[in-house]
Structures are given as C-alpha cells and as structure tokens.
Amino acid sequence: MSAHHEKIAHLQEYPPQTPQPNIYPLGWPAGPGKLEEIWASAQKELWDPAKLAWTTFNPAKYTWEQREAIGYWWTLLSVFDASAPPVFATAFVKTYENHEDDVVRRCFLSVTRDEQVHEQMCRLSVAAVLEHEDPLTYQPRTELGLRLQKNVRWLFYNGGRYWEAYKHAVPNYDLAVLFSSFLMGEIAAATIFHQMAARCTEPVFQEAFRRIGRDEGRHMGICMALMERDYPRLDVSRHALITKQIRAGYLFLSAVLFEPPAEFWDLPEDFIGTQREAEQIARQAGFAIPDYEEKRENWRRAMLNLKGVLDRYGIPFPAIPEVGITGEEVTDVDLKDVVPVF
Ligand SMILES: [Fe+2]
Ligand SMILES: [Fe+2]
C-alpha cells in the first residue's frame, strides 16, 4: 500500500466522514453505573505479584517431586493465563473500533491488565519452585518431572492451536457474543481460586489466589453488566451462536477446571494419568488442587450459574452431559469456534 495521501483540505471546508468501523472514537459516551463501580475497584485492587511475601517461601521444604508437581500446575494455569492478555487486548481494541462506552473501554483495559498480573504470578511461581525461568527448557529432576514435561509440551501445542482459532474467530463475533464466552471462564475461575485460597497452606500462594479470585469476580461483574445492557435487545438469530460458544468454552476450559475432553484436546493417552498423579502429590504438599469430584461439582455449579443468566434472556443452554447438565445437543463444535478464555 502506498503511503501517498491526496491532499483535500484546500478543496473543501470540512473533511468527509471517516469510514466506520474506525478505531478512533473521539468521544466518551457514559456507560452503566455498575461498570464505573467495578472500574473504581479495579484501580484500587491492582496488585503486583513481585511484591508478595516471597521471602516466606522456602522451596527447600518440598521434595523435588512436589516442586515439579506444583510447578506443573502453575504451568497448566499459565497455558490459559498467558493467552488471556492478548485475548483481552484484542477485545479491548474491538471496544475502540465499536466506539463502546468509555467505561466499557476502561473495564476491558483493566481485565487485560489483571490477566497480565495473573500471568506474572505464574511466571514467578514457576521460577520459585523449579528454580528455572520456564517449564519448557527446565531440566526435570525426577522421573515424574520428565513425564510432566511431556504433558507441558502437549499443553503448549494445544494452546497454540487455540490462539490460531481465536485470531480467526474474533473478527467474526461481536462483543455481545464474546461476553457470554468470557463470562463462563470468569465464573469458573472465581470459584476455583477462592477455593484454593481457602485451602492452600503456603502463604504466598494463598494470598495470590485470594487476589486472583477477587480479580476474576470483577471480570465476572463486567460481563454480567454488559449482558444486562445488551441481551434484552439481542437478536434471536444470535442465540444459536452463543449456545455453541458455551459448549466450545466448556471443552476448552475443562483442561484446567476439570479434565481435558478428547473432543477438543489432542493429548497422548498417558496425559491424564500423569496429571492426576502430580495433582495428588501437590495436594499432599498442601497445594490444594480440587480433586476429580470437587472439580466436577465446581464446574457443574459454574455452568448452572451461567445457565441461569442465559435463561433470563431465553438463550438455549448446550447439553453438558459430562457434568450432568441437559440441554441443547451441540455436536459440531470445531476448533475455529473457540473463543472463551480464563
Ligand atoms: Fe485470570
Ligand atoms: Fe479473568
């Protein structure tokens, strides 16, 4: 494309209309008051993982197996939390292109920033337990660590597939569809982090989970406020897309919140056995990952909450037989439909 611009300012008094969508809103329309409150909390509650009480953390009190198991969990979380900043940054750009309410733009900035904070927490935790800056080039100390690293490589591979899908999907969906996809991640995330905060014995992790849970609660509030604003006038033709997104979100997020379904996740056969083994070892070390039944119950409750929200607007909920939820059968979920994020 040539950078040449044909000058017109000497030919006419006023410039022509700028074609839309255009990223430059030059206006600050007010939005829902609820979002102003959330934004104010986000400003107040911003935190820095580097400033947690790391001096109280002594990795030497754990065995190498325990350290590798805990490091694995933070790595698993970062597969989601490290994709969240670019995912929300893309949605943030969209709020400008759409000339969204000023407070909506600010709220999306706060989510992007929070997710980056969560990613930093993953980085610091991995570094602290493994004494190495990243899980991929880390030299495993134990046989379990070796198998976990194979798991990590497969998670990383699948995460890459997700990002390609997201880039492809996002321009085709408007924010109203994105909200419902985001909401499910936020509901589930808020639950799991509050639970882990209550039960982890390591003070630095406890404090991090408490703050991450609080952030996720705010993200949930943002999605809810936007749905309340937009869904009453949502066209019925969009319902099917949302239903499908929820099912896609279930499949994607199950890897961290429950167990990875083969319908989306391309993983070797020994993957889940190795992960369960590591989770058990982490639990015995006071790192309170919910067990299979607890995860299933959390996930089911999160899904039912979301269903309650969608029911209000008459949007059909997909069947999630894995956690005992009946609903509309969605079978054709394909990789390019995946938008949800943590
Ligand atoms: Fe997060
Ligand atoms: Fe979040």
Give the distance (Å) from ligand 2 centre to CA of residue 215: 7
Name residues whose C-beta falls within 8 Å of residue 319's C-beta, 6 or more positions apart in sequence.
Answer: 247, 325, 326, 327, 328, 329, 330
Considering every ligand atom, which ligand is closest to the CA of 110?
A: 2
| pLDDT 10s digits, 88-119 | 998 899 899 889 999 999 999 999 999 999 99
Share of the chain above pLDDT 70, in %: 96
Give the distance (Å) from ligand 2 centre to CA of residue 177: 16
Residue 269 φ/ψ, nearest 5 degrees: -60, -35
| pLDDT 10s digits, 218-244 | 998 998 899 889 989 999 988 988 888
Closest CA relative to residue 283, chosen from 205, 199, 191, 192: 199
Burial letters for 119-132: b for 16+ Cβ neighbours within 10 Å, e otherwise?
A: bbbbbbbbebbbee
Considering every ligand atom, which ligand is closest to the CA of 186?
A: 2
Considering every ligand atom, which ligand is closest to the CA of 81?
A: 1
| pLDDT 10s digits, 115-146 | 999 999 999 999 999 999 999 999 999 999 99
| CA atoms lying within 13 Å on the CB side of residue 219 | 33
pLDDT at 342: 47
pLDDT at 337: 59
Give the distance (Å) from ligand 2 centre to CA of residue 336: 21
Closest CA relative to residue 76, chosen from 113, 111, 122, 117: 122
CA pair distance 245, 184, nearest whole angstrom:
10
| pLDDT 10s digits, 32-67 | 999 999 999 999 999 999 999 999 999 999 999 999
Give the CATH number of domain 62-337; options: 3.40.50, 1.10.620, 1.25.10, 1.20.120. Answer: 1.10.620
CA pair distance 249, 246, nearest whole angstrom:
5
CA pair distance 69, 145, nearest whole angstrom:
7
Contact 124, 50 (CB under 8 A): yes
Q: Which residue has the higher pLDDT, 257 or 169?
A: 257
Q: Return the residue matching tokens 């580097």.
A: 50
Give the distance (Å) from ligand 1 centre to CA of residue 215: 7
Q: Which residue has the higher pLDDT, 174 or 282?
A: 282
Give the distance (Å) from ligand 1 centre to CA of residue 31: 24
